[in-house]
Amino acid sequence: MVSVVLDCLAADMSIESILTEYPSLKKEAILAAFAYSSELAQERIVAA
């Protein structure tokens, strides 16, 4: 569902619009999708 939320944001949908389009989602789930995608996008530095 993370990719669906991100696709909606890329299409310039607001959180309210996403909640209307996908009534089974809760605002907390959308915020969790943001946190998860942010974690995946972070750069990691590994010492050699």
Determine, yes or no, domain membership for 22. Answer: yes
Determine, yes or no, domain membership for 15. Answer: yes
Query: pTM of the predicted model, to two decimals?
Result: 0.78
pLDDT of residue 46: 78
Domain that holds residue 14: 2-41
Domain count, the chain: 1
Please state, in angstroms and rounded to a whole number, the distance separating the CA atoms of residues 2 and 22.
13
pLDDT of 48 > 80? The answer is no
Determine, yes or no, domain membership for 25. Answer: yes
Q: Which residue has the higher pLDDT, 47 or 13?
A: 13
Determine, yes or no, domain membership for 48. Answer: no
Determine, yes or no, domain membership for 36. Answer: yes
Amino acid at 47: A
Mean pLDDT of the chain: 93
User: CB neighbours of 40 closer than 8 A, spacing ≥ 6?
Assistant: none
Whole-number Cα distances in Å, 42 to 3, 33, 37? 17, 14, 9
Residue 35: burial class (beta carbons within 10 Å; 0-12, 13-18, 19+): exposed
Determine, yes or no, domain membership for 47. Answer: no
